[in-house]
Structures are given as structure tokens and as C-alpha cells.
Amino acid sequence: MTAQLAERSNTLYQLSEDYLRILDLLEDPDADADALEHELDGIAGAITAKAESIAGLVKQLEGMAATRKSEADRMRDLAASDQRNADRLRDYVRKHMVALGSERIDTARFRISVRTNPPAVHVLEEQLVPDEFIRTVTTTSVDKKAVMEHLKSTGELIPGVEVTRSQRLEIR
């Protein structure tokens, strides 16, 4: 635990141990939001110092999130590549077994067999399919951008919607 704190303190804008405890709470999936807020309230120091340290935590967490998203994308691409290669090798063995007339191969580790899949429908020209076999799916949604443009141009709020304006904390 102490090694983790020392390792992280170099990347967290030299935050105090108090803020590292807060980071531990943030990383704990079982941590209570009230406990986090209590920990934040209990830290001594002026609001400017607190805000600066918390901004450092925010930047650290945003950086970690971006890194993890990037790594997830990379891993997803690798997994897709691995699956394509596995499919290609599976098809290679299947083709050769069919060409040799072999439906099954038993090895010390595997039982490899060629099986016939159940029938599948492939649509070649949708326009030629009779209406009784066509399924229509309709989705509706409110065009929020059009609602906002209407409000800006006419000053009129359409029934069934409200326009709210929230605040966010910007850290540069």
C-alpha cells in the first residue's frame, strides 16, 4: 500500500497523502459517496489549495480514463484480428478435410469434425421479397437540435419540453 502511494504521488502533481486517500476511495467500487465527501471536507487548507489539489486529481483521473479507453480500443482491435485469423485457419482446415473426404480427425488433444450448419436465409434482392415477409421497424425521437433552433429563432418553447442550463467545472 505504501509503495502504491509513493508511486502515485509522482504522477499526481505532488499531492499530499490526504488526496491520495481520496484517490483510493475513488478507486474503491464499494466506497460510499458520503465518505468521499466527508474525506474532502475534512482536509485542512484554503479553498484555493483544495481546488488546485482536486483539479490535479481530476486531471489524473481523466488521463487514466483516456489511457484505459485507448487501451480498450487497442485490445478490441487485437481481439478482432485474432478472431479473423482463427476463422481463416478454421476455414483452411475445413476446406482440406472436405477435399480429402474426411469428416472427422481425432488427435491426442482435439476431435476435429466437419458439420453441416442449419439452413440460413440470405436476402439477395429485398425488392423482390413479397410484402408478407417484410417487417417494418419505426423509431421516433425528438430532434433536440431543431427544438433549440426553434427556441432561438422564435423565443417560443414548444409543448412537452423544457430547456435547462446546468453548470460544469472547467479545468485547464
Q: Smallest Cα–Cα separation from 16: which of 30, 42, 37, 29?
A: 42
CA distance 124 to 64: 47
Domain tally, the chain: 1
Higher per-residue pLDDT: 44 or 58: 58
42 in any annotated domain: yes
154 in any annotated domain: no
Give the model's pLDDT for residue 12: 41
DSSP 119: P
Give the model's pLDDT for residue 110: 93
* Torsional sign, CA 154, 156, 159, 161: positive
80 in any annotated domain: yes
Q: Which residue has the cell 504522477?
A: 11
CB 23 within 8 A of CB 43: no
Higher per-residue pLDDT: 92 or 9: 92
88 in any annotated domain: yes
156 in any annotated domain: no
Which domain, by its residues, includes 47? Answer: 2-118
Q: 122-169, pLDDT tens digit by residue?
A: 999 999 999 999 999 999 999 999 999 999 999 999 999 999 998 887
CB atoms near residue 55 (< 10 Å): 15
Give the model's pLDDT for residue 5: 44
Give the model's pLDDT for residue 74: 98
